Structure 1
Amino acid sequence: MNEITSHQCNLNIWAHLPDKVWNRVANIYELMPGWIGYIDGIPHWFGQEEDDVYIQASVEPSGLSFYAQMNQSDWDSWIGAFKLEATKVLGFEVGEPEDGFE
């Protein structure tokens, strides 16, 4: 099953957190596989919207939001790795608010 599909995920990394936290998040971005940098201020991995495969992130009222277009197993692996690294670096358990993470 290598079908490219869309994925969306909000994490409990809130906009109101201090700059110190957001600086750490920026460092995590750069460590993640596929990092290509900021394009118009938006972090991107693997490609951009016109490409078949890409991930981008934005800070929303609902938390740090990721939008991706890739196959399911690659997405599951990538977002799982991000959550693990963010939990380790930020010092709190990072997950989706819908799953009970505050």
Structure 2
Amino acid sequence: MEIHNHNLNIHYSSPEDIWDKLAELYSEMPGWSGFIDGIPHWYAQDNDKRIINASVEPSGLQFYAEMQQEEWNTWFELFKTKASATLGLEIGEPEDGFEFHIYS
């Protein structure tokens, strides 16, 4: 298992409808376990050693994962693709040049 920490360009100040759309998307992703103490989790059940969770941070929507690199890459790319389609914005990592869309 490897540890992964990645941020996406989804700003913490995004309006409620963005978070509602993301909550629906979360449940459609492979390994969905539900919200545990308000935090979305994937794979964290039934002695599965894999885990993914997400949190809203000033640096963007942050993902923490413990899983094999190839499986993580596939899962994370799927999330970015689905989030881009769901939100109508290009979703990616700020470190890769993806800018935050700030709502006013």
TM-score range, shorter chain: over 0.9
With normalisation by structure 2, the TM-score equals 0.91
Offset from partner CA, 1:75-96 (integer Å, 9 cap, x none)? 0000000000000000000000
* Identity across matched positions, percent: 54
- Structure 2: any 5+ residue segments left out of the alignment? 100-104
Return the match for 1:29 from 14, 26, 30.
Answer: 26
User: Does residue 71 of structure 1 match 2:88?
Assistant: no
Alignment partners' CA distance in 2, 1:74 and 1:80: 10
Structure 1 stretches of 5 or more lacking a match?
none
> What stretches of structure 1 move > 2 A for 4+ residues in a row?
none
Query: Where does residue 43 of structure 2 map in the other structure?
Result: 46
Q: Structure 2 CA distance, aligned partners of 1:89 and 1:53?
A: 26
Question: When the two structures are aligned, how many residues end up with a matched partner?
Answer: 98
* Aligned partner of 2:83 among 83, 86, 92: 86
SS at match of 1:81: helix
- TM-score normalised by L of structure 1: 0.92
